[in-house]
Structures are given as C-alpha cells and as structure tokens.
Structure 1
Amino acid sequence: MHYQVGWAKQKIDIVACGYAMHGYGQPGHRAYGTRNPLFARAIVITSDDGAPLLYCCLDLGYITHAMRQGVVAALRQRLDEAFDESRLVLTCTHTHSGPGGCAHEGLYNLVTPGFVPAHLDAVVEAAAGALNTALERQAATQIHYRHQALPDQLPVAWNRSLRAYNRNPDITPYPADQTHLALDRTMHLVSFHREGRVEAMLSLFGVHATCLGNQLDHYDGDNKGYAALHAESCLRAQGVKEPVAIFAQGTAGDVSPHYHGPGDRKRRRKLRGEAEYAYARQNGQRQSEHAFAMLKEPGEAVTGELDGVLTYVDMSDQAVAQEFANGEMGARTSAPCHGVGFFLGTPIDGPGMPAPLGFAAKRLARAERRKKLKSGAAEQAEHRKLYDSQGPKDIVLNAGRKTVLGYTLDAIPLPDLADPLVAELKRQAKRGALARSPMVPSVLPLQIVRLGNLRLVCAPGEFTTVAGARLVAAVTGALSLGQDDICLINTYCNDYMGYVTTFEEYQEQAYEGGHTVYGQWTLGAFQTCYVALARALKASPDQRHYDTHTLPAMVPDSELALRCSLPPRT
C-alpha cells in the first residue's frame, strides 16, 4: 500500500480583546494578548483508492459540534464526492489558555460571556485552511509507528485524583508519593518520512495542558503547543522546510502536568507568572525530546488500507450491556448532571468554589434528592431513574432539566454579586437565550478510523487513565485484531461534553466524577456503543449496518443571537 501524505499548519487568527478563555471557568481569566500563536495543524493521508483520511489538531481547549459543522461544510465544497466525513478527525491540545465562545450549547460559553461568532469563524477558517493546504502538498510518504514509555523519573505528568484511581480493581494502587506512576506513561508516535527523513509527526500522550494557571491573560498553546513548536524547530534545523508536529491527547482526564503529592499546594503557589510560562515550555520540550529519542529506534512500518466509521449517539439515555455494568441488568445513562465535585474544581490545576460553599451545596443537593424521592408516584419513578443512574453524585446542575438545586435557571436564589457566573446564567435565562438550547451536548460523535494496521478510537471529552484503557480493550476485542495490529485512543475529538471515569472512580465524586455528566454507567455506555461501532468497522463496507442518520438538533438561531457577541467584561 502506497500513501500520499500532506501536512500543513495555519494560525488561528483571533484578536485577544478581553473575552474570558475556555478551560478554567473563571470570568477573570481573560485574554488581552497572545504569548504564542495558536495553530491548526493538519495531516492528510490518501491511499491507492478511496477518500482521504483527514486529521486536524487545534491549539484549543475543546472541539465543538459547531466547529465540526463548519469544517465539514468547507471540505464538502473542496472535495465534493471525494469527501467521507467518517474519515475526518478534529481534535485539540486542550490548552486552557485558548479562546472560548465557540459552542452553540449554553454552559461552556457562560464564562466568555456567550457565543462569539468571530471566534468560531476563525477556528473553522484555520482548520479548513490547514487541511486544504495539506491536501495540496500530498506526496509519496512512508509512515512508521513507535511507542515507548517516558522514563519514570522524567517530571512530566502526575495523577491528580489518586484516591479515585486506587479504587479500580484492575490496577496496582500507588501511595501519595508515587502519583507519577499512576497513569499511562506511554507515548505513541506516528512519523512521516520522505527520502529517509522525518518531516512530520503525530504524538499521542495524555497530560492536561494546564501548566499555565488561571491568573494569566494571554493566549498560549501551553505544554502541547510548546512541544509542537520545539519539535518543528528541531526538524527545521535538520533541513525540513515546512515541518508539522502534532502533540495530541491520550487519556489525560486524571493526569496533571503539575506535581501531586506531599507539599503539592505549596509547590504550586511558588509557580507564578513568568515561571509558569517557563514551566510550560520545559514540560513541552521534555515531551518533544522524548519523541525525538524514540525516532532513534527502528519503527514499525504502517501499511494497509484507510477506513473510518462515525456515528452519533444520544448518551443521555443509553442502555449499558451487562458485561460493562458489573453484571447489572437495566443499567442506563441519564440526562446530564453536574455534581458538587465539578464546581469545587481541582486543587492544583484549577480550584473552583470555596470548600464551605461546596459543603453547603452538598447539603442542599441531598435535601433536594430526599424531596424529589418523596414526590408523587409518577414523578417519583422518574426521579428514582435519574438518581439510580447518577448514583452518589450530589447534583447541583441538572443540565437536562435546566435546574440548579431544583430552581429554574432564571430563579436561582443566589445574589448576582455572589457569583458572576450565576449572574450570567440567570441573565441569559431571563432573556430566553437558553429556553430550547441544550446546556451541554448529549448527542455525541463516536468514531474509529483505520490507518493501515493502526486503529484510532476517537472519543469526545476527557477519559481517565483506566477508563481509556478499558475502552481500548473493549474495542480491541470487538475488532479481533491480529498480532501486528494496534489500537490507540485519542481524546477531545469532534465534540466536548465533560469527563468519563470508571464506575469505581465515579464513586469517589472527585472533580472528574462530578463532571462525568451522564452518570455512573457513562463508561459502560461508551464501551457498549464503541463495541457496536467496532463491529461495523470490522465488516466489509457493504455489510455495515449502523446509525448514520442521527445528528444533534440544531440550536435555534434566535437563541444564539441572544447569546452572541456579548461585550467582554472589563
């Protein structure tokens, strides 16, 4: 099998003018400049026949359905019948120092505030532009694959939710001073060669892009962006004219670039301002240097056909196969709900509400649960179904019903001065800007692509270390892969809805569990749906039977207009 491959990158041209950045959910985390440019980096692969495989990674905190819609429209115009949407992968570095306001759903735009069409247009233009340029630059290329663990002593990543991680029965528990081992330290590297020289690369390694905290005021690619810039600089020094290096995400959900262990808070407090930028650069450079060290070893040739399957699934009401529900019958997901743990944030990467407020929120959430479960028979059955799915989560925001602790969004009994985000939420609700719009996406894109003997599970949102490993194991089994075949996971793909923890991790209700919005069986639902999708990929194209018609509902233009181009706070 011969491959024609092209690569390119294009700057995401957004002017920093005071809108809050996406990632930390802090209204004060505003952008007034750009430290390092944000890019869309693309790699396009075409084989002897069939549509091209199109891969684009953006220096952003999230991918949204609105972004994907825009890029799909641009590519259809460019490629016409040669475009196969199931072979388009949009992913991101998950930098927390990138623009917000790029989603049509309500919740993750609140902090911006609202929807910013200019941001979305710039993202779509950069992604489509990079992909189109890559298409034009295709030439004969050899592809190789390598994988190698980062040395244990290399200070790049730590598990930030150890108590939850240690609940899993399929791992070795670690003490608090060994959080650097409680994660998947393997980097996977796909390299692209012409005339015996590496000219582009794609790295998959899971670690949050949160070296830069929420007190800074410039756009920046954080550690993944610095890794890409360092790698491209090294390739240029070797004579490559227009190199592209992508450092994308694996299972980053519970993995931090900051030390977690005894004395972690004191250590983080010392890292401020310019020291944070230096630390992000150092972390990224270490990832890049590890990738180059891997290139010194022989790689495995990637060969074989290109393929892809893509489906949209309503994750708010999915039945879970018994094998992925600890043997339970009738396990289901529910409408999205955010727990107290979500609002408390993470103590090192991104603190949220103060602990006393969290304690009060737990008491109110539990009182609301008791009240709901004592309601009339018909309502009680509905509430019990929700709480059975959400398990031990103390629900603050029922994003499906659009209530906060039982109150409608426009009637939350918290003074506006107490919390600017609550004030913004109430303001938009009173304007009718959220009446028919989802707060978060529930109809989600699930995708598996094939690049020769590689299979890539492209998953939306943030999977923890063990959740991702279990999903890959389930897909690998369903595909019946041979000895030379490899299955990998790429997260933050195609849309963003929050986290996915294991059932056991969910019981801890740390930040990751509080942000696993569809309940304690969320991972089981993903496993169930991805196994079905893997079986479709395994079949010949004319024998594939899976849903290719379901799509997210369109968000009303009238409501988008009410949330759009709101002035940045000053």
Structure 2
Amino acid sequence: MYMVGWSKQEIPIQPKGYAMFGYGMWTHRAYEKRTALFARTFSIREMNATQPLLICCLDFGCITHAMRSGVVDVLKQKLAEHFDEQQLVLMATHTHSGPGGCAYEALYNMPTPGFVPEHLSAVVEAVVQSVLLAIETEHETEIRYSTGQFDENTPVAWNRALKSYNRNPDVIQRDIHETHLALNREMQLLGFYRQQQLCGLISLFGVHATCLSNQLNAYDGDNKGYAATISEQYLAEQGVDQPVTIFAQASAGDVSPHFHGPKQDAIRNKIQGEAEYQYAQQNGRYQSDLALQALSSSSQPLEGTLDAVLSYVDLSQVNIPVEFSQGVKNAKTSAACHGVAFFGGTPVDGKGAAKPITMAMSLLSRQVRKKRLANPNAPDYDKYHALYSSQHPKDIILESPDNQLLGKDLDVQPSFLDPLIREMNRQVKAGAIQHSPLVPSVVPLQILKLGQLLLVCCPGEITTTSAQRVIQTVYQSSTSMSSQYVCIASYCNDYMGYITTNEEYQQQAYEGGHTLYGQWTQAAIQYKFQDLAQQLSLEKSMRSYDQSTRPAQIPQHEIDLRTNFGSIKTAVR
C-alpha cells in the first residue's frame, strides 16, 4: 500500500489567435476551444514518507525548461523540505492542438509568434494547484501494474517511417502493408485501487496526438485527451469520486494515428473538418477501452520503495563509449542542427516544404559543407570537421547555438520566402536572438522507481526501436534492484526534438532530420540512462552523479524582446 492522491486542473488559456505548438505552421492558430486542456497529477508516497513522487501530465505539445523550472520554483516555496525536484516528472500528451509560446529558447516559438508569458503563467499555476490538491487528497491506495496488447486489427497506430525502421537489425522486417505492426502495440498501465475499486490510472502507449490536422483552429486534447475524458467518465459512472486518468506517451517518435501504406494520402484526405474530431475521439476510445479492459483482468501489485534520480546532460558534447557506438571510436554528439528533412515534414501527419524546395536546400547545404571543409588549414576546419562527422549524412540547414541558416546569419536570409523566416529576421534584427539558443542543449534525464517498476522519463520524441534499446539497457543495469518492469515515458521535463537509432538516422527521413545532436544522439541517451540506472541501484549515500548542471540562463532582455504581449498584428484568420 502507498499513500496516493490525484487531481486535475484546467489550464486556463483562452484562444486569442496565437499559433498552436506542434505543426510549426504560421497559419495554425487558435480562435476557439473545443475541449478543456488539463494538468493531471498523481502524488505517490510511501507510508510515513515526507516527499512524494509527483507525476503530472499536461494536455500540451511538450514540456519546456521554462515550464518545469517555473513549477519547481513555486513548489520549493510552498512545500519546502517536503519537495524533492528529482521526484517530480512533468509529461505532455503531445497534442498538436494546444498552446505554444512557453519556451525561453527561440525556435519553436517562432510561429506563435514569440514567447507568451501569460501562457507560461497559466501552465505553472495549473500544475502547482493540481500538485497541491493531489497531495491533499492522499489516502491508502494499492497500485497495480498491468499491460494490454492492441489487436492487430485495431486501427489505432501505424509506423510512419518504415524505411528507417527496417534499417534496424534488431527488428522484424515489415513491408508497406504491415506498418501497423512496425511499432510497440503494448500499453503499460498503472492502476490505482481503493477498496478493490479502480479509481484512476496512468497509461503509457506511443502514438502521435495528430488526429487533428493543421487546418483546424481550436484548442483540443486530441486522442490522448479524449482517452482520458472517456475513462474518467466511465469511472465516475462506477461511483468513483473525481477520478483522474493519465494517457501519456511512450515510443511515439515514428508512430502515427493515421494509416500509412498504399493510398495513404487519399485515405487521410477523406477525414476533414468535423470528421477529424470524431476520428480523434475514436482513437482515444480505443486507448481507453484497452486500458480499462487490461486493468480489469490480471495485474501485479507494486510493492517496495519509491525513489528517483534526475540529471541534466549537455547533449552537444557527449563522448560515446564503443559499446554504444557499434565499435566506432571517437564517436561524439555535436551542437544541435536541423536538417533538410525537418523542413520537409512527415507524410500524412504534417507535410512541410515541397520537394523542389527541399532539393534546393540540400544543394545549398552541401555547397556550404564543401566550402567549410575545403581548406584543412582554415581556423574553423577542426570545428566543422567534427560537426559534419557527428551530423553525417544530414544536410544541415539550421545550426544552434551559432544561429545560422545555410551557413549565414539569420538576419541576412530573404524574408519573402516564408513568414517564419520573416519572423526570425524580425527577432534577430530586434536583438532578441543574440545570445539565446534556438533550442536546448542541456536536457534532463530521469528515472523513477515505483516498487518493482522503473519509469524512464525521456525528454524527446523517441522512436520504437530507440526506446526498446534504452529499456533493455536500463533493465540490464538494474538487476541489483530486482526490477521486474521497465517502461518508458516520452515528452518529459523538456523538449529535445527526436531520438532515432543510428541506423534510422542514416535514412534522413523527418525523424532523422529532427534528431538534433547528430547520428549518435540515441547512443548518448542510452549511455546516460545506463549511468542513471546504475546510480539508482546504489544506496543514496553512495550515489555520485551530476545534480547541479542546469541550462544556461537566457538573457531576460532577449526574452522580453521576443515576447508578444497579446498584440498579434501578424496573425491573419
């Protein structure tokens, strides 16, 4: 038995025409609110313990360092010694129909446009209130672990990057008619029981929350939000007072809720407007039905200690041990770079620039690379040789922290090509991106221990096979803890783009183009999670790992310069 409480609080953000986060589309703006967006929290502690594990999931596209640090600062004040930030995890459902503008880093706020402080304040307030109420409602509760398997015929998820997936030697090769099998169709579940009655749950299943397209204009929780609402309604009908259910993400990086296979575009185009909301609800219902069914059958009670470790890692400079680099010596990550494939988007879910444009981008990118590497005696040769070795074979378009686009400063690019480039130019010329990074480089990695279960909390969009490798490594590193189960949760605590395997990265599909720190990104994550798992297996007094590193402070005056205080003159409905 544990002491467990739960709560959900609406995130009070009203649609005012700001662009939503996820698709990166200048025109994807919110003028309506279709469903409420919530912060849902479980507070879990051992009997007589003072500091709980806090698991909070937001109906949001991602978590940012600004969101997490804001929550941590307030909870430190309100809970004092009863709060341990290592035992707090913030997750996102990754709905693409939620607010943006909540990051201090510049890039992913461009469409919004800019940083929106009222959005960040609303998130922090909702999370804090949800956490405090969850703590107040703690009672003796049994936690049970269970799994459910989607039937092959349940149309809930498909792999959207099959060529990349099939490059992995540790998968069953699938053809274009089997994209629904090229993913992990298992759902991991925690059920919370009082007097033998299911009162709440946490579901982990990876599928993008992109049932709703970038042609809609309303805030909505998408499939994960509908799954939670349907489950909570069911439990309320069973007599549960104020039930809370979290439907979080697992290995969703290469997994879509839309059919990927023959005639995929024609099939997707038949789902438009109101039909998209019905499609999202049905996908959510599939997830809710499986969760409730699995928890009504066999399950395993969790017993034992609660614990957590969290460490910030600079992913721009990780030296990869040969056991994680396929024997390659001197493998290393690099500064964050976005590739051509990032701008090309994904099939079905979110198409980007047209092929002629991406082909031109590739040509220009290769010219920049050739020029930079032409003279081995040039002052910057070693720097660029290391960068391209790490990022190979990516055709680099955007570089952080040098803040360059195709090898040139951001403010010299022709702004007539794209409204996002125009906004980027505006912010650079205003002095808003002089010392600020476009994206994070220092990100948090975290593992929670709940009895026999280890929950690996990953800040990125991790692909199916990448997640399996991380899970296997953590499991092998945790044998001294007698851990029976290892699960992964994604979109946790910050946003670092994608995590593809080295083999997938070579394909340079969208996911590889958005794997920021180069071809060894997944190896770095696997290596660092191994270290955390080993630390977690030690007594707290014996642990030795980095608990002090944090992202560098971003100049407040630059944040102010790219803050839009509600005037959205550039938005056109």
Task: For residue 324 of structure 1, give the secondary structure of its aligned residue in structure 2.
Answer: coil
Matched, 1:438 2:437: yes
Counterpart of 1:550 in structure 2 is 549
- Written as runs of structure 1 = structure 2, the 5 A alignment for 1:274-353 is 274-353=274-353
Counterpart of 1:513 in structure 2 is 512
| Moved beyond 4 Å, runs of 4+ | 481-484
Q: Distance in 1 between matches of 2:483 and 2:37?
A: 36
Q: Distance in 1 between matches of 2:192 and 2:181?
A: 30
Counterpart of 1:142 in structure 2 is 142
1:417, distance to aligned residue in structure 2 (A):
2.8
Scaled by the length of structure 2, the TM-score of the pair is 0.98
Q: Distance in 1 between matches of 2:211 and 2:177?
A: 20
Q: Is the 8 A contact 2:208 2:252 kept in 1?
A: yes
Counterpart of 1:450 in structure 2 is 449
Counterpart of 2:90 in structure 1 is 90
Q: Count the aligned residue pairs.
A: 567
RMSD: 1.0
Task: For residue 445 of structure 2, give the secondary structure of its aligned residue in structure 1.
Answer: strand
Q: Deviations over 1:240-289 (max 9, x none)?
A: 11000100000000000000000101111111100100000000011000
Q: 1:8 corresponds to which letter in structure 2?
A: S
Matched, 1:359 2:352: no
1:475, distance to aligned residue in structure 2 (A):
1.1
Task: For residue 379 of structure 2, give the secondary structure of its aligned residue in structure 1.
Answer: helix
Q: Distance in 1 between matches of 2:543 and 2:73?
A: 25
What residue ranges of structure 2 are gaps of 5+ in the alignment? none
Counterpart of 1:229 in structure 2 is 229
Task: For residue 190 of structure 1, give the secondary structure of its aligned residue in structure 2.
Answer: strand
Q: Distance in 2 between matches of 1:382 and 1:399?
A: 14
Scaled by the length of structure 1, the TM-score of the pair is 0.98
Q: Distance in 1 between matches of 2:321 and 2:471?
A: 16
Counterpart of 2:166 in structure 1 is 166
Counterpart of 1:396 in structure 2 is 397
Counterpart of 2:533 in structure 1 is 534
Counterpart of 2:385 in structure 1 is 384
Q: 1:44 corresponds to which letter in structure 2?
A: S
Matched, 1:260 2:263: no
Q: 2:304 corresponds to which letter in structure 1?
A: G
1:148, distance to aligned residue in structure 2 (A):
2.1
Q: Deviations over 1:459-507 (max 9, x none)?
A: 1010000001101111111112666621110000000010000000000
What residue ranges of structure 1 are gaps of 5+ in the alignment? none
Task: For residue 397 of structure 1, give the secondary structure of its aligned residue in structure 2.
Answer: strand
1:296, distance to aligned residue in structure 2 (A):
2.2
Q: 2:504 corresponds to which letter in structure 1?
A: E
Counterpart of 2:195 in structure 1 is 195
Task: For residue 115 of structure 1, give the secondary structure of its aligned residue in structure 2.
Answer: coil
Q: Deviations over 1:286-306 (max 9, x none)?
A: 100011111221210011101
Counterpart of 1:428 in structure 2 is 427
1:381, distance to aligned residue in structure 2 (A):
1.4
Q: Distance in 2 between matches of 1:476 and 1:319?
A: 22
Matched, 1:406 2:407: yes
Counterpart of 2:53 in structure 1 is 53
Q: Distance in 1 between matches of 2:130 and 2:51?
A: 18
Q: 1:443 corresponds to which letter in structure 2?
A: V
Counterpart of 2:12 in structure 1 is 13
1:516, distance to aligned residue in structure 2 (A):
0.1
Q: Is the 8 A contact 2:365 2:397 kept in 1?
A: yes
Q: 2:170 corresponds to which letter in structure 1?
A: D
Q: Is the 8 A contact 2:317 2:332 kept in 1?
A: yes
Q: Deviations over 1:28-86 (max 9, x none)?
A: 00000100000000000010225100010000000000000111112112211111111
Task: For residue 320 of structure 1, give the secondary structure of its aligned residue in structure 2.
Answer: coil
Counterpart of 1:64 in structure 2 is 64
Matched, 1:112 2:112: yes
Greater shift, 223-232 or 475-484, is seen at: 475-484
Q: Is the 8 A contact 2:480 2:537 kept in 1?
A: no
Between the aligned residues of both structures, percent identity stands at: 51
